[in-house]
Structure 1
Amino acid sequence: MNKGIVIAGPTGVGKTSLSIKLAKKIDADIISSDSMQVYKYMDIGTAKITKNEMEGVKHYLIDEIEPTHKYSVGEYYNRVNEVLSNLNGKNVILAGGTGLYIRSITEGLSSLPESNLEIRKELLKYTLEELCEKLKKIDIEAYKAIDLKNRIRVERALEVCLITNEKYSKLRNKNIKNNNYTFIKIGLKRDREILYNRINKRVDIMFNEGLLNEAKFLYENYKKGIENIKAIGYKELFLYFEGKITLNEAKEIIKRETRRYAKRQFTWFNKEKDIIWFDLDKQAEEEIIENILEIFNV
């Protein structure tokens, strides 16, 4: 079994710097686990690592797709497992803050079938209440587990049952990992107020580095499908370009939404099993790296 390391944590905590230094220590390639850095032309707003910052370390899943493409965890899962299969056992680091992407590689992804248009059309004929009753009869475990007010979730559960003739509640837990790496999971954190201050300053730096021009390029060149660009820092500036908010309002919303996103990331990773946490306010980066190396080499 090959070995890898996950470097996870909220946006702005310091994952990039530490992962580069760690990669050079263990001769590892880095696979981005950031759902936005996979997009082309979204560099400043996603704090995308530059060629100089890479310091010669090979990176994957950066600048791979068009900004308006709806990228999914399934696509990420397939692409990363393709990369891992071609690395021939080389050490690898998954670095990023998109928890679902990381989990798909470390724990696997459920092998649920793709959507069936005919079944979906048929389900549209029923009210939400009727769909819930159907689900209750077919798969009581799913009925008890999912949000019955969310029609999309209920339809999907029923669709899977009807396609496979199996219970959605069982299939969703049958994860297929599809790679031969075992991962040590490292979480990085800071004091909440310190992190929020870092985020606020980073947004100011992004504007100084040309975020407005970068967002303008996307707005002017990707009008068709612009609604698919959901990244914080861009969708707010699109509202500014449309005259719906002022530039200062856009900047403050970006800071607020980024802080909220960091809070959601903390919540996600705190629920994940087997994460070993390090506090960058209490330990120097070099000391944390040495501790990780001790764990990795056991």
Structure 2
Amino acid sequence: MAPPLIVIVGPTAVGKSDLAFDLALKINGEIVSADSMQIYKLMDIGTAKPEVSKRNIVRHYMIDIVYPDEEYSVALYKQDAEKAIEKIYSKNKIPIVVGGTGLYINSIINKVNYSESGPDKNFREQLDNLSNEKGIEYLHNMLYKIDPVSAKKISVNDKKRIIRALEVYYRTGKPISYYQQLSNNQPNTKYNTLIFGLTMNRTILYDRIERRVDIMINKGLVEEVRSLLSMGYDERLNSMQAIGYRQILGYLRGKLGLNEAINLIKRDTRRYAKRQLTWFRNNDRVEWFDLDKIDEEDIIKKIIERLAGICKE
């Protein structure tokens, strides 16, 4: 019988990491992050990584994997995360995958069918040059013409994913959304997977997002971005274009006032949370918990009940 795998998804700032930590303590579990920004070393405040004190108590995997200027892909994530999951099983513990990056989650819970061969460096370099010449919006418009489904999901600032989607199309003749849809219909049978989603009233969630951004600023997000620049990391890197970092770069370059940058971080994070909810709600395998109606302790009890159920099968 396939071993159990718990997956916790939901929008940013909803409380996934805290719940996963408390759950891990109760079920002898360890955590595998599914966050495309927490993989980066030196980027701690703006990525809202779990506190080091918690990571010292419960082992977390897939955090601080690469430096901000290193290439990383969904295919590499799948490979590394599955190794982490196997390591957790080898210790007779239960893996808990937690995060809000839909592509990372899908790579674990589904059979991923689109090409995972090595990148076409020449093609990517051509598109990168085109982006530098005409702007990233130009690439996003190219993608929209061939794959509007993906273009609506991928942020206009996410050059890495835009180029990847264009590469898949020009390699295979089919859009990446086609292959992702195939994957969505083919669960990964290596694991007996339970997927739980967290949600809450939109107004409350947005308030949590705004307070989180304020905390990041108070913890030193501006100094973190300034430090990355001083270490030589190019502001055009995909990692540096993430929400929070991109806006603070605008402030440091004199293009935005600090309050304007902070308000843009809050706005863009709210929009990102909305996209995350849309993504995960399209998966009918997710069992949702509304935090306005049920508290964390009861959610954990229900997850443990579901886990006990599949372990008896």
TM-score range (shorter-chain normalised) is 0.7 to 0.9
2:199 to 185, 189, 192: 189
For 1:129, the equivalent position in structure 2 comes to none
Partner amino acid, structure 1, of 2:169: A
The answer for the alignment partner of 1:94 in structure 2 is 97
Alpha-carbon distance in structure 2 between the residues aligned to 1:148 and 1:46: 27
> TM-score with structure 2 length normalisation?
0.77
Task: Give distance in 2, aligned partners of 1:216 and 1:53.
Answer: 27
Hey, what does 2:226 align to over in structure 1?
Answer: 216
Name the structure 2 match of 1:257.
268
**Matching of residue 278 in structure 1 with residue 279 in structure 2:** no
Structure with max Cα Rg: 1
Aligned length: 272
Q: Compute the displacement of 1:93 (Å).
A: 0.2
CA contact (8 A) 2:32 2:85 kept: no
CA pair 148-187 structure 1, distance change in 2 beyond 3 A: closer
Structure 2: any 5+ residue segments left out of the alignment?
A: 126-145, 152-161
- Asked if structure 2 preserves the Cα contact closer than 8 Å seen for 1:187 and 1:276, the reply is yes
Judging by fraction of residues, say which structure has more helix. 2
Alignment partner for residue 269 of structure 1, among 247, 259, 280?
A: 280
**Aligned-pair Cα RMSD in Å:** 3.2
Structure 1 unmatched ranges of 5 or more: 122-144, 163-167
Partner of 2:80: 79
Relative to structure 1, is the Cα distance of residues 216 and 25 closer, same or farther in structure 2, using a 3 angstrom cutoff? same
Q: Name the structure 1 match of 2:62.
A: 61
Counterpart of 1:205?
Answer: 215
Pairing partner for 1:106 from 95, 106, 109: 109
Q: Does the aligned pair in 2 maintain the 1:199–1:259 contact within 8 Å? A: yes
Pairwise CA distance, 1:201: 0.9
* Residue matched to 2:155: none
Contact 2:30 2:94 in 1 (8 A): yes
Q: What amino acid is aligned across from residue 58 of structure 2 in structure 1?
A: V
**Equivalent-residue separation in structure 1 for 2:38 and 2:179 (angstroms):** 33
Taking a change above 3 Å as real, the CA distance of residues 169 and 226 of structure 1, as seen in their structure-2 partners, is closer
Amino acid at match of 1:26: I
**Percent of aligned pairs sharing the same letter:** 41
| Structure 2 counterparts to residues 145-160 of structure 1, below 5 A | 146-147=147-148, 156-160=168-172
Q: Is the 1:68–1:222 Cα contact (8 Å) retained in structure 2?
A: no
